[in-house]
Amino acid sequence: MKEEAGGWVYILASAHMGTLYTGSTRDIIRRVYEHKEGLLPGFTRKYGVTRLVWFEAYDSVSAAYSREQQIKKWRRDWKIALIEEKNPRWEDLYPTLAGYGPLPKWPRAADLE
């Protein structure tokens, strides 16, 4: 089976230091939009978790999914440290990712190995 290229892992928050949600997707712009607009029932709609505060790009969907599962097992304070390493003010990164401003200069996960 051929692996589809590209995947993303992301963390959403309800507010600064608020409720967190970790997910993975092939299309981060579409998926975060769905969270923001409450288009799908579930945790993020129920708790108002709509602010994109962290993300990583991966070369494959399976690698992104593995990283998502790893992060979901982390303690909350580890997730907060991950967010604050690159986004200390917990700004919503969606506008820049969706093309409304410059993207942060974050390395791809593969570049860190």
Give the pLDDT score at 108.
53
Average pLDDT, the chain: 89
Residue (of 45, 2, 4) closest to 25 by Cα position: 4
Contacts of 55 (CB under 8 A, 6+ apart): 8, 9, 10, 11, 28, 93, 97
2: confidence class by pLDDT, cuts 50, 70, 90: very low
Mean pLDDT over 63-88 rounds to 97
Residues 79, 36: Cα–Cα separation, whole Å = 21
Mean pLDDT over 56-63 rounds to 95
The CATH H-level (homologous superfamily) assignment of domain 5-112 is GIY-YIG endonuclease (3.40.1440.10)
